[in-house]
Amino acid sequence: MVKEADPVDPSHALFDRFVQAQTCKETQQNFIELCRHLEVEPRDYKHFYSKLKDRLNYWKAKDLWQKIDKRGAHPDYEQGQACHQNKCLVLGAGPCGLRTAIELALLGAQVVVLEKRLSFTRNNVLHLWLYTIRDLLNLGAKKFYGRFCSGSIHHISIRQLQLILLKLALILGVEVHTGVTFEGLQEPSGSTGWRAQVSPASHTAAAFEFDVFISAGGGRCVPDGFKIKELRGKLAIGITANFVNRHTKQEAQVQEISGVARIYNQQFFQALQSEIGVDLENIVYYKDDTHYFVMTAKKGSLLKKGVIKQDFSDVNQLLAPANVNQEALQKYAYEAADFSTDHGLPDLEFAKNHAGHLDVAMFDFTCMQRAENASLVKERKGKRLLIALVGDSLVEPFWPLGTGIARGFLAAFDTAWMVRSWGKGVPPLEVLAERESVYQLLSQTTPENTSKNYAAYSIDPSTRYPNVNLSSIKPMQVKHRLYDTEDGKANKPTKPIMKTKPKKGKYSVRRLEDLLSWCQKNTAGYKHVKVKDLSESWRSGMALCALIHNFRPELIDMSCLDEYNITGNNKLAFDLMEKEFGITPVMRAREMTTCGKIDQLSMVVYLTQIRTALTEKHTPYLKLCLIVQPAAPVVPVVPMASSEAGSSELCYFCNKHLYVVERGSAEGKFFHRSCFNCYQCGSTLRQGGYNFLSDTGRFYCELHSAAEEEEGDEGHRGSQV
């Protein structure tokens, strides 16, 4: 056999090396060498791609150019002029950050991506919906990764997907800086615009001025101004494991597992438990660069197998590194993988993670987070900044369901559409209102309820979401929440807001004593609550919850609170105070756990606002009990999630068994997604697109909720059904 000769033209060889690069560093180095050889400047973003295409006359590249040109010719991009005056900073070079950057580049914007890591090392495998496969194929994914979606189940490792998208982003003129840490936003001065504070401070990215900021850095990189909602459920412990794939014939014959839940194959899970003591809710196996397994394990079996050393009610303590036996965890994951593949994978050997350790991890699925809003605008010194979230920063995925990258790409397209409107001069409030209207749909998207015409998909939401209402949220509804002006006066609600620490000397000793006495009086008799002062006594969050319960007992079930769950207690209290009374938290819930000393003056202002809000509107519960009893039973308060292990709970609507893998959640209630319907008309409800009437415990679509509220007010105001 005659070996194919190497390309004669050096640029062809450089392009081949760039395309075939298997690390982030190698990709960047080969790209720089290619640009130098062709004498094209990557920072000339407006002309870079066209110059690269003109100077690289190579048959292997032409098919890629055709795919990129076809995408770029879509009317949405207006031949790269839609956002030609916009400068965008994207935080995070994960799949969603890079996919967003590609769309912004096609719109003609200058795009800079910051990534604190130096390499792409995540072995975990992503499930792909059909539209994501079509999208990546149309962008030339096969040119960069020949094995893309070649198996029976559609998936790809995070690392390989990042490499594909990085190469595409570089070709389109996106600047990608690795090893740069984002420290925060720097507000404009008289002569400069919005900038980023970065480390190292001398990096060129520190001088980049932008009018669009996209955070795709995960749950820890949520900018100020965004509220995060926690969706709590029964304890769900996830385990991921990656094993070396040697790509042998024997390995190729082993069948993948697209997702087996206990409810659908009870015999398999019972055998797994009885034979090796591994008790799971579900398991997924994908064969990619590694043999990848993800499963949801029950706490009882983890304790019996010695994976978890000691039982704790607080999940953070339960899964703390000091409470996990790593060797037992490795054995547990190994046995589950070996049994579920019918011992078909020979010589199972754990792959290594970025730190050189065996790639097996255990984490908490109990609390999933999602942002309450997807975007906001800040204005300082007359300079506006559009801020948006994508990826895990926006909606944290539930791994066994495989929704992460599909919804992540949908959000990337939605965000690009919003930036397009921004670049075309649409008024900011209209931009925000439309983005939030679309965001209401994201958490409930499935392959079944999104458009099946994948060929027509674009950044325009109407091509992807059937019957989407782009104006379900009105500009005036976002004015007070999502438009942050310099002084905050024009666009802020007239509710109590605590933004800065109060000045010393504002409160007299008598007023402080009076406030403390009121707090003690209204928290007396509550278990684990003893108010001695106006600072440390409030750390656990129990006292704040007691205050709320004393005046609004229907909001909290005190019997379900754990005094050691400091973050959870404070999060619950802070959220209720803000939602019910408009009182902004004094600090983040987790800071009540980590801060060395609670600032008394800040707490005094916060408690003073609470006192005013509670005493003006409500009679304490203990007094209320002496005055009147309700005419009918009150709707039971749904307790906070139990930490007990268990395979199921009951659906709020149909009262049938509910398993972790199939449940939805809203207003603290858990249910089958198929049961989440309007009480009046039976139409399917979506997260963010429903109304809940607490006095009846019923959910309604927006059309019928208003009529129901009016009927309730006329029939019996204040009654509880």
Instruction: Encode pLDDT of 392-445 as tens digits.
Output: 889 887 665 667 899 999 999 999 999 999 999 999 999 999 999 999 888 888
What's the average model confidence in pLDDT over 98-105? 98
Q: Is domain 509-627 annotated with CATH 3.30.1360.30?
A: no
**pLDDT score, position 152:** 61
| Domain 79-228+371-463: top CATH class | alpha beta
Residue 388: pLDDT band with limits 50, 70, 90: very high
> Where in the chain is CATH 2.10.110.10?
648-716
Secondary structure, 3-state, 278-301: CCEEEEEEEECCEEEEEEEECHHH
**pLDDT score, position 278:** 94
Query: CATH for 234-365?
Result: 3.30.9
The Cα–Cα gap between 391 and 436 comes to 16
Among candidate residues 568, 222, 142, the one with its CA nearest the CA of residue 367: 568
**pLDDT score, position 260:** 63
- Computed over every residue of the chain, the mean pLDDT equals 83
The Cα–Cα gap between 278 and 256 comes to 20
What ranges make up the beta strands (E) of 399-528?
A: 483-484
Question: pLDDT tens for residues 510-567?
Answer: 788 889 999 999 998 888 899 999 988 999 999 999 998 888 877 887 877 888 888 8
Angle, vertex CA 277, rays to CA 272 and CA 283, nearest 5: 45
**pLDDT score, position 165:** 98
Query: What SS3 state is found at 483?
Result: strand
> Where in the chain is CATH 1.10.418.10?
509-627
Residue 261: pLDDT band with limits 50, 70, 90: low
What's the average model confidence in pLDDT over 67-92? 97
Check whether 491 has a pLDDT greater than 50.
Answer: no
Strands 698-700 and 280-287: unpaired
Residue 647: pLDDT band with limits 50, 70, 90: very low
Check whether 639 has a pLDDT greater than 60.
Answer: no
Residue 96: pLDDT band with limits 50, 70, 90: very high
Place of tokens 């406030």: 515
Residue 676: pLDDT band with limits 50, 70, 90: confident
* Most confident listed range (494-503, 677-686, 697-706): 677-686
> Where in the chain is CATH 3.50.50.60?
79-228+371-463
Per the model's pLDDT, the better-predicted residue between 198 and 628 turns out to be 198
Q: Is domain 648-716 annotated with CATH 3.40.50.1970?
A: no
Check whether 646 has a pLDDT greater than 50.
Answer: no
Strands 375-380 and 483-484: parallel
Question: pLDDT tens for residues 466-488?
Answer: 988 998 889 988 888 899 987 65
The answer to pTM > 0.75 is: no
Check whether 105 has a pLDDT greater than 90.
Answer: yes
Check whether 13 has a pLDDT greater than 90.
Answer: yes
> Where in the chain is CATH 3.30.9?
234-365
Check whether 632 has a pLDDT greater than 50.
Answer: no
Check whether 72 has a pLDDT greater than 90.
Answer: yes
Per the model's pLDDT, the better-predicted residue between 16 and 605 turns out to be 16
What's the average model confidence in pLDDT over 236-243? 92
**pLDDT score, position 402:** 65
The two three-digit tokens of residue 90, written as one number: 């994207």
**pLDDT score, position 538:** 92
Contact 447, 134 (CB under 8 A): no
Residue 305: pLDDT band with limits 50, 70, 90: very high
